[in-house]
Amino acid sequence: MAIMETGTQRWLWLSLIASLCLGLATACYEQTESRPTDENGPDENGEEAPDQAEWDAIRWFTRQGPSGANARLVMTLDAEISADGRSVRFAWDAYPWDADGAAHFFTWDGQRWRGGRFDVIAEGGESSKDLRNIRNGYNNLRIPPAGTRVAFAWTSADGRERSNLVVDRWP
């Protein structure tokens, strides 16, 4: 015996399916947006810090400073290069170390970041740094051509803890 659907029944079924799909999509979106993250490593879903893949691919210049490979994310940093490229201004959420830290400079070569320490960050943090060490070739660092993607980061003096990578363009 065949069951015949009326137009109203078909409309009800389609409405129910659409509501379920919309509800499921909304729940997934809300879960993703409100999911708490642990900035010190993978979260409950095994996802790492947003910049972890880039951080792991850095080619570290270590002649004058530590490698920050495998460093744990512990702070949020912001950086802005001056228009003339002679200095960088920093802002941060909380300075996490009871000692000096290291300021790092990286350039993007099209596949990965390359760079390393360019200066010391005094205990408590520093709101600006002169970039003369980069201009002078400290730690094999060089001033890149205008428009090149660059990044800054801070690490603990031993390179075990870090800030996020702050990406900008060289002026």
- 7 or 95, greater pLDDT: 95
- Would you kindly state where each structural domain of the chain is located, as residue ranges? 52-169
Q: What distances in angstroms separate CA 149 from CA 60, 88, 113, one per listed residue? A: 17, 15, 9
Residue type, 158: D
Most distant CA pair in the chain, distance: 88
CATH architecture of 52-169: Sandwich (2.60)
Alpha-carbon distance of 69 to 55, in angstroms, equals 7
119-153 pLDDT tens trace: 999 999 999 999 999 999 999 999 999 999 999 99
Alpha-carbon distance of 106 to 98, in angstroms, equals 25
Residue 48 has pLDDT above 90, yes or no: no
2-20 pLDDT tens trace: 555 555 555 444 454 545 4
Residue 169 has pLDDT above 70, yes or no: yes
The first and second tokens of residue 10, run together, are 């078909």
25-39 pLDDT tens trace: 444 333 333 323 333
Residue by residue, DSSP assigns 35-67 as: ----TTS--TTS---TTHHHHHT-EEE-TTS--
